[in-house]
Amino acid sequence: MALSGSLLLRRGAMRRCPVCGQGHLFRRWFLMESACPGCGLVFRRAPGHWLGSWFLNVLVVQSVLVAGISVVVALTWPARLNAWSIGLVVAVALSVPALFFPFSRTIWTAIDLVMRPLDFDDGVDPGVELSQLPPGGPRPRGRPWERSSPSPDSPGRHDPRESGGSR
Ligand SMILES: [Zn+2]
């Protein structure tokens, strides 16, 4: 995968496809396209893929609530929380998860791509990835532990510079 983790996360944070930067990934606020219209990335990369975005959403809501309650308590101490404060907390607890929902999905997709780089069955057009390769040509494909060692059925390969050539 040629894309840097920071670029993937920045695109995800802007509700864009992490792979190609395409926007308009949501038909409605809560209704995401199943695949990116720009590059073809299938967003649900594995069964249970969106559990990560739910976790991300819960994390953000909890953080906002803890920070907000801390500020309210610090400002009103030693008075007890009144109905307005409790109403504000409830409003935040209900609105933040809804507002953050699409961001949680694209950010999670970016995080997942950082942890598990693109594979052939992700649906991405190979041309999209090749067009974003850094100067100097493509990186060797395959898992690092598979491409570093010479295969045992190819005798006479002692020069490591020759590995990675044609089979
Ligand atoms: Zn895309």
Separation of CA 73 and ligand 1 centre (Å): 44
Give the CA dihedral 157, 159, 164, 167, nearest 10 degrees: -20
Separation of CA 36 and ligand 1 centre (Å): 5
Given a contact cutoff of 8 angstroms between Cβ atoms, the answer to whether 18 and 113 are in contact is yes
Separation of CA 5 and ligand 1 centre (Å): 15
Separation of CA 142 and ligand 1 centre (Å): 22
Residue 136: predicted pLDDT? 53
Separation of CA 122 and ligand 1 centre (Å): 11
Domain spans in the chain, listed from the N-terminal domain onward: 5-134
Helix (H, G, I), strand (E, B) or coil at 10: helix
Separation of CA 117 and ligand 1 centre (Å): 14
Residue 41: predicted pLDDT? 94
Residue 72: predicted pLDDT? 85
Q: What is the pTM of this model?
A: 0.72
Mean pLDDT highest for which of 124-128, 137-141, 148-152?
A: 124-128
Helix (H, G, I), strand (E, B) or coil at 129: helix
Separation of CA 2 and ligand 1 centre (Å): 14
Q: pLDDT, tens digit, for every residue of 86-138?
A: 898 899 999 999 999 999 999 999 999 999 988 888 888 777 766 665 555 44
The rounded distance, in Å, linking the Cα atoms of 29 and 38 is 19
Partnered with residue 31 across adjacent β-strands are 28
Handedness of CA 71, 74, 76, 81 (dihedral sign): positive
Residue 165: predicted pLDDT? 45
pLDDT at 50 over 90: yes
Separation of CA 42 and ligand 1 centre (Å): 9
